[in-house]
Chains A and B, each alone.
Chain A
């Protein structure tokens, strides 16, 4: 049960967003820019970074939600998402993404944990300044979202079949207030 009366029975972040629309608005805009920009990193790379950081923060709702979104971008390759979460070094992803996940993992611990070597490795693997910037800010944003979701003890659906439905909604319509204002995606919808 959530720590405070959120006045809705929406899941996870959606519940906190609906409780506080004035803070949800800039967060939604930030997520839309960071997670759906097609410049530099791909959408699947962005979502994998978010999934990985959420996994490290042990945020059940976020890592399953963003893992499901990444899965759609990866044409249903659930195994790859699982590998990135648990052992990205051995996943079939680019060296660049591996180096960026290493930076994201450091940011999860502390901004100060990122070293010049981490940055150098990413550069050598082809990461641009903007890729590095976005990786740091995506990882940092998930350190906020994971704490927001779990710090209020929002409800995470135990019905795992609901995650791909919400993921599909994000992939098709993006981040923003519609994800808590409109009816939640249900399995009987197409």
Chain B
């Protein structure tokens, strides 16, 4: 049960979002720009993967499953493949550029100060643009916020991971702004 009376029984971040719609609006707008806006050279799948990976590092069950399922939906891979990337992305078949960006995201998860000039240069040499590095840092940072919001209030999360996979196509179609929190 959540630490405060959210006045709804919605799972994960939807609980506090329905509790305080004023803050939910910019939180969702940020997610939309970062994860779904197509004016971006990182694919939606790549950006969701960064979010899922950071959520995994933060041990946030709800977020890593929502965004793992979103990444799986866009990248057309199953839970096992997403799990393999979260656990050891270096040994998977994702691009070297994505590996370099996930390494930056992992540093951000620990602390902004953990990101090194060498990491950024390495990613740049593998083709990552300044914009992509910026977005990687901000996506990772944003998930350090969302994850803490979800777990800091002790919201509940469905334990059946298929729940998240089943919802991903709907979220991909609707996006993060115009949707019914209660559905």
Seen from chain A, the residues whose Cβ lies within 8 Å of a Cβ on chain B are 3-5, 16, 19-20, 22-23, 25-27, 29-30, 33-34, 57-59, 103, 106-107, 110-112, 114, 116, 119, 129-130, 132-133, 136-137, 139-141, 143-153
**A140 interface neighbour in B4, B108, B120, B152, Cβ under 8 Å:** B152
**Listed A/B pairs (16) with beta-carbon separation below 8 Å:** A3-B115, A3-B133, A26-B30, A26-B33, A29-B25, A106-B152, A111-B150, A111-B152, A114-B152, A133-B19, A143-B144, A147-B111, A148-B138, A150-B112, A151-B115, A151-B141
Whether A26 pairs with B3 at a CB distance below 8 angstroms is no
* Contact between B112 and A136, CB atoms less than 8 A apart: no
List which B56-106 residues lie within 8 A (CB) of chain A: 58-60, 104
Given B5, B26, B33, B141, which contacts A148 in the complex, CB threshold below 8 Å? Answer: B141
Given contacts A26-B30, A111-B149, contact A147 B141 (CB under 8 A): yes
**Complex Cα spacing A146 to B23, Å:** 19
B59, B107, B112, B117 pick with most chain A CB within 10 angstroms: B112
In the complex, how many residue pairs between chain A and chain B have their CB atoms under 8 Å apart?
A: 140
**B149 partner residues in chain A, CB cutoff 8 A:** 111, 136-137, 140
Report the bound CA distance from A145 to B60 in whole Å: 19
Task: Kindly provide the distance from the CB of B110 to the nearest chain A CB, expressed in whole angstroms.
Answer: 9
B residues sitting closer than 8 Å to A (CB atoms) are 3-5, 16, 19-20, 22-23, 25-27, 29-30, 33-34, 37, 58-60, 104, 107-108, 111-113, 115, 117, 120, 130, 133-134, 137-138, 140-142, 144-154
Kindly provide the distance from the CB of A9 to the nearest chain B CB, expressed in whole angstroms: 16
Partner of A114, one of B3, B111, B115, B134: B3
Distance of A30 Cα from B140 Cα, bound (Å): 18
Q: Give the residue of A59, A110, A119, A148 whose beta carbon is less than 8 angstroms from that of B148.
A: A110
